[in-house]
Amino acid sequence: MGKNKLKKFAEMETFPNVFQCGAREMLPSNQVHPMAGHWHSDYFHNDHPIVLELGCGRGEYTVGLARKYPEKNFIGIDIKGARMWAGAKEAVQDGLNNVAFLRTNIEIITSFFCAGEIDEIWITFCDPQMKKATKRLTSTYFMQRYQQIVKPSGLIHLKTDSPFLYTYTTEMLRLNPYPVLCSTDDLYGKSAEGIAAFDDAKALQTHYEKQWLDRGLSIKYIEWQLTPLNRFEEPTIEIEKDTYRSYGRNYNSPE
């Protein structure tokens, strides 16, 4: 591990807005984390809605949403601490009290929140996980977990460049009757112009989103309500794989 990563990890330990607990710490005891059910009282010190960003990466979307909506609380979740460091540090430096970061495995998300504690979830430009369905953040595997912590009829937002993940999620929502509030395969195209439902999704752009737009790729967006389901059906259709890759980490978008 490089010295820069070690320095970031050490600094993360000092940030008051960062909580770190991976699967190894939670298992095999599978205990509920002390913050579960206490995010309002023990961290945010208010009763404002709590919004999660899953796979938050550098935390830029989490921080951007927190700036835009001071009347809401935001928690960015990812396992990559070196990336999360940037957003966590920015939030501390700018005194954003409605932001927290949780470094953990999303598979054990139910260990950190109680039933109905979460109002919304944003999934932004996650790995489409084309080889294994249970790793996809919009799979029924994860829907069952989200249902345990999100309020009935809470909102889920997916923003992605991946045609594969968009097609898969659309099929998942067809098979499992969650109410779809809006959906587009080209967020910045003419078909989405002037539609208020897409305004929030357009308001912020991540580093990776700008990469995709620079390359002429379209951005997909779906918003649905997580009404409780008792039975789930996983999509089995064949979906064409994405044929492109992300730029390397040293890539800088053209000015």
Q: Report which secondary-structure segment, H or E, holds 85.
A: helix 81-93
Going by C-alpha positions, the residue among 148, 147, 126, 101 that lies closest to residue 206 is 126
Instruction: Compute, in degrees rounded to 10, the torsion defined by CA atoms 95, 64, 77, 202.
Output: 170
Strand partners, 249: none
Tokens of 32: 């509920």
Map residue 198 onto helix, strand or coil: helix
Strand partners, 130: none
For 179, other C-beta atoms within 10 Å of its C-beta total 11
Q: What are the two backbone dihedrals, phi and then psi, of residue 169, each rounded to the nearest 5 degrees?
A: -65, -40
Contacts of 131 (CB under 8 A, 6+ apart): none
For 204, other C-beta atoms within 10 Å of its C-beta total 18
Tokens of 175: 């098979």
Let me know if 186 is a catalytic residue: no
Contacts of 42 (CB under 8 A, 6+ apart): 35
Tokens of 34: 């002390």
Q: What are the two backbone dihedrals, phi and then psi, of residue 157, each rounded to the nearest 5 degrees?
A: -120, 130
Q: Among residues 127, 186, 199, 214, which one is catalytic?
A: 127
Read off the DSSP letter of residue 179. P
Catalytic residues: 127
